[in-house]
């Protein structure tokens, strides 16, 4: 099972990243724990300069923008292959 973290204060862009990620998980039919990280001390543990951020299995894959569904799907498949 993958662990996915959405980094950010809960703004509209953070919500969009979460929605794109949840849809990709459903489309792939995989199990994943999706965790919202809103605490700035926790967010700063990752090499991120701006939110929203997306972390898959403790690897920061995207920061400061909303990824496309295709990007998220690719990152999830790659994470499954290396898990």
Which residues have a catalytic role annotated? 11, 14
53-83 as b/e: b if 16+ CB within 10 A: bbbbbeeebbbeebbeeebbbebbeebeeee
Say how many C-beta atoms besides its own lie within 10 A of residue 35's C-beta.
Answer: 12
């Amino acid at each position: 099972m993958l662990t996915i973290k959405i980094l950010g204060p809960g703004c509209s862009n953070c919500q969009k990243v979460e929605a794109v990620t949840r849809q990709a998980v459903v489309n792939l039919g995989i199990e994943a724990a999706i965790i919202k990280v809103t605490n700035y001390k926790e967010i700063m543990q990752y090499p991120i300069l701006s939110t929203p951020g997306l972390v898959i299995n403790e690897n920061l894959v995207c920061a400061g923008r909303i990824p496309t569904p295709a990007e998220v799907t690719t990152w999830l498949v790659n994470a499954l292959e290396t898990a």
